[in-house]
Structure 1
Amino acid sequence: MAIKSINPATGKVYKTYPSLTSEEIEQRLVEGEAQYQHYRWTSFSDRSNWLQAAADYLEDHDSGLGRIMTQEMGKPLGAAIAEVKKCAWVCRHYADHGADYLADERSDVGYVRYQPLGIILAVMPWNYPLWQVFRLAAPALMAGNVVLLKHASNVPKCALSIEQVFRKAGFPDGAFQTLLIGADQTAAVIADDRVRGVSLTGSGPAGSQVAAVAGQHLKKVVLELGGSDPFIVMPSADLDAAVETAVTARLQNNGQSCIAAKRFILVDNIADEFEARLVEKYESLVVGDPMQPETDIGPLATPSILRDIHKQVHDCLIAGAKALVGGHVEKLKASLPPELELGNFYPPTILSHIPPGTPADQEEFFGPVALIFRVKDLDEAIALANSTPFGLGASGWTQDATEQQRLINEIEAGAVFINSMVKSDPRLPFGGIKQSGIGRELGRHGILEFVNAKTVCVS
């Protein structure tokens, strides 16, 4: 299978890469296992220094790495450069705190020593091509594991660039390797005895497939899957801040984020005002070339994502939903310059008056589409927020302390943010419940996912 680097704004193919052969995959597994037998005994100090060097390299090359991301998956260049800087942050965090996170835990009867497992396979998505990888790789490498990366097939240049970052930072050869392979080659790598754990960020079906193979071979997994995050606005909310944040929370990364606010749940007596303000913000957005500084929204990453979001919106409209803004692909395409006519562009869209039984009830919308629901009170808001199979993040907007505590306690999610948008932070654990995932990344919890908590008693 050929792996292509395609510009989603223009449809231009930059380069085609051949998939690795079985023999080439075996060679990388041999190299990874051999390096692990050495790397596992390196000091925390050495690993910290290499991670700091990786952070230095990322910061020194943020513009170039950002351009590669924008060229391959379409995010606005400013957001791509910010993503590179965030990768440097996670490297520095584990360089500074990893040794403390992994220090022996002593008690009256013995102690726990945390030791690496071996080769960890990272199966990563295209939407945050660097960040998703670094938030797994930084703690895994700091713990003494080695990493093999199977990246999404539409971001091969990003995948190879990440390997170069770790090589330039001074990590030993084989400590981090990129595998340019297709999805049909991944199961065999998971099944290999030398692979001791798998971390996947992606869709629910992909997570189920990986978990099934890993379970068959008794491999540890961490899964960060989809989300349909609620953004609940109560009457006491600061509407100025809520609306301003809502735009960013929904449209970050061209709307292609697991933790984007997707369902806006509004109490009736503030719904009209919030809705009107959100429409006004949406109507001012600039859709176009993601390399240009004035662009707010770039293309979706692939034609299939464009088809999926368009069908979801179409099905909602046929069922009786109302498009307050957007929803018409051809009208948007007619407004774009000729060089972008083959791009995967979708208009920023707001759907309201959504009847039950549409895709908005249970599906994740991965694109610049906001779904508005009206409720009469907090009880209804919480029930609606919990009504999907997902449980990744939630954002609640209220100045009432009692309402804040109810949202924190009763929302079924891996994270609840009050009066701010959901975001990941190297200092805090990140992950979901229900069909949004298993396990945690980031913080101390993240580095402990792929280690052996070895109990030690000495008489």
Structure 2
Amino acid sequence: MAFETVNPTTGQSLKTFSAWDKEAIEEALQQAQESRFVWAARPLSERCRLLEAVAQQLRERKEDLARLITLEMGKLVTEARAEIEKCAWVCEYYAEQAPRFLADEMIESDAGRSYVALQPLGTVLAIMPWNFPFWQVFRFCAPALVAGNTALLKHASNVPQCALAIERTLLEAGFPPGVFHTLLVTSAQAAEVIADPRVQGVTLTGSEAAGRKVAEWAGQHLKKTVLELGGADPFIVLADADLEQTVPVAVQSRFLNGGQSCIAAKRFIVMEEVANEFVARFRASLEALRPGDPLDEQTTLAPLARLDLREGLHRQVKVSIEQGAVAVAGCQPLPGPGAYYAPSILDRVQPGMPAFEEELFGPVAAIIRVADQAEAVAMANASRYGLGGSVWSRDVSWAEQLALQLQCGAAFVNGLVKSDPRLPFGGVKCSGYGRELSWHGMREFVNQKTVWIK
């Protein structure tokens, strides 16, 4: 199998890499194993210093790295720069907070002294997606590495250059060889890596189907897992919402990264009495979205990452329309080269339609009209996913009460659902389990060891 960089803007093949053979995989696994204990024994202050050096490297190389992201998966270059900056932030955050997060936790008991020591698990395999090719990796590896773990990365097959650039960035910042290693391996080979006793844990960000497979593989070998999977996030608009503030955020949340985000708002659940105005304002905002070369600063709508992804999205849209959804805008691929899809609105979406039941990974907004707040919450929770959600209202206290009723890992009131190094991130139901970021994410891949002394 080959790993190929195909520019989604032009369809041009840019570079191809061969999948590793068994010898290369064995070498990486053994190097990680040999580095594991040496790295864990390094002073925490030194690991923090190296993480700060990574942040500096990211900022110094921001333009080149952002361009690489855009060429490989089509993200707007302005958004790609922001992604690199966010990676630098998460490195600085954990470099600053790790001494506090990893400190012994003293607990009173029948011992003379008892406490919980946080020690690294060992080597953790990360299986990561293409949509945020740097951020998804760094939000895992910054806490895992500073905690003393070593890391292996199996990245998405369409972003091999980003995967290799991440490893190179860490090496140039001073990380010892073997502490972080990119593996160019297939999914079948990844299963073999999970089974290897030199790997102690697995984290995956990706589709629900991929999560089920990884959980199965890891479960067979009793490996700790963290899964961050798909989402169909509800965006609840109450009758008293300030639409001048709400609609711009709704558009941003749906069309950021070309709509290819697990925590993008995907189901807009709107009170019937304001639904017509909300849809009209939303549609007017789409006229400002300009498809074009994502390296052009003036472009505001990027292509999808691959043509097959566009085909899958269009099938979901067509079936939803056949089942009664109303095409208000777009709902078709754009002509010409590249994997472009028109910014789209599907109105009067109902349960049972793909636009309601499935994750639409692209620039399509599904409008669901409801009669009252109880129906809004019921519709929001009538999904197998539970990643994020938001509630929009001038009555913040009441909106907070509704947000607490949402079955999801992150609920926002009058704000864009987003990840933040300071806050735990993850989902429930078929959106996965475990948490990333904050101190909660750091504790996923450490041994929380009880120490009892008389």
Aligned to 1:360: 355
Q: CA deviation at 1:355?
A: 4.2
- Quick check: 2:234–2:267 contact (8 Å CA) kept in 1? yes
**CA apart distance, 1:402:** 4.5
CA deviation string 1:77-119 (max 9, x = no partner): 0000100000000000000001110100002221000000111
- TM-score, normalised with respect to structure 1: 0.97
Which residue is 1:307 aligned to?
Answer: 311
Query: Offset of 1:298 from its aligned partner?
Result: 1.1
Cα offsets for 1:7-45 (capped at 9, x unmatched): 011111111101110110000000000011200101111
AA matched with 1:7: N
Matched, 1:262 2:266: yes
Q: Which residue of 2 aligns with 1:337?
A: none
Separation in structure 2 between the aligned mates of residue 223 and residue 438 of structure 1, nearest angstrom = 5
Paired position in structure 1 for 2:248: 244
Matches for 1:53-452 after TM superposition, within 5 Å: 53-109=53-109, 110-329=114-333, 332-333=334-335, 341-452=336-447
Name the SS of the counterpart of 1:344 in structure 2: coil
Counterpart residue identity of residue 424, structure 1: S
**Shift, 1:288, TM fit:** 1.4
Unpaired runs of 5+ residues, structure 1, are 334-340
Give distance in 1, aligned partners of 2:180 and 2:452.
Answer: 34
Partners of 1:314 and 1:180 lie apart in 2 by 36
Give me the whole-angstrom Cα distance separating, in 1, the residues matched to 2:254 and 2:343: 10
Indicate if the aligned counterparts of 2:392 and 2:413 stay in contact, CA closer than 8 A.
yes
Cα offsets for 1:365-414 (capped at 9, x unmatched): 00000000111111000000000100000011012244223222210000
2: distance between equivalents of 1:143 and 1:450? 8
1:268 & 1:187 partners in 2: Cα distance? 48
- CA offsets, 1:142-183, max 9 Å, x none? 100000000000000000000011001101111100001111
Post-superposition offset of 1:357: 2.4
* Shift in Å, 1:208: 0.4
After TM superposition, give the deviation of residue 322 of structure 1 in Å: 1.2
Contact 1:8/1:73 (<8 A) preserved: yes
Query: Which residue identity does 2:185 align to in structure 1?
Result: I
Separation in structure 1 between the aligned mates of residue 269 and residue 414 of structure 2, nearest angstrom: 14
In structure 2, the partner of 1:44 is 44
Query: In terms of mean alpha carbon deviation, does 319-328 or 275-284 score higher?
Result: 319-328
In structure 1, distance between residues paired with 2:288 and 2:97: 43
Please say if residues 246 and 414 of structure 2, whose CA atoms lie closer than 8 Å, have aligned partners that are also in contact: yes
Regions of 4+ moved over 3 Å: none
Deviation of residue 328 (structure 1)? Answer: 2.2
1:342 positional shift: 2.9
Deviating more after overlay: 394-403 vs 233-242: 394-403
Corresponding position of 2:27: 27
- TM-score under structure 2 normalisation? 0.98
Separation in 2, partners of 1:451, 1:179:
23
The amino acid across from 1:350 in the alignment is I
CA distance in 2, matches of 1:244, 1:430: 24
Question: Is the partner of 2:327 in helix, strand or coil?
Answer: strand
Aligned to 1:338: none
Size of the alignment, in residue pairs?
450
Consecutive unaligned residues in structure 2, runs of 5 or more: none
- Asked whether the 8 Å contact 2:20–2:185 carries over to 1, the reply is yes
Mean CA deviation greater in 303-312 or 132-141: 303-312
* SS in structure 2 of the partner of residue 113 of structure 1: strand
Structure 2 distance, partners of 1:450, 1:356, is 38
CA contact (8 A) 1:283 1:325 kept: no
- C-alpha RMSD of the superposition: 0.9
Distance 2:22 2:362 in 1: 36
Secondary structure of the corresponding residue to residue 152 of structure 1: coil
1:453 matched residue in structure 2: 448
Displacement after TM superposition at 1:184 (Å):
1.8
Percent identity of the aligned residues?
Answer: 51
Residue 200 of structure 2 aligns to a residue whose secondary structure is strand
Contact map agreement 2:125 2:194 (CA 8 A) in 1:
yes
Give me the whole-angstrom Cα distance separating, in 1, the residues matched to 2:226 and 2:168. Answer: 25
Q: Quote the Cα distance in structure 2 between the aligned partners of 1:304 and 1:113.
A: 48
CA distance in structure 1 between the partners assigned to 2:217 and 2:62 by the alignment: 36
Q: What SS does the aligned partner of 1:122 have?
A: strand
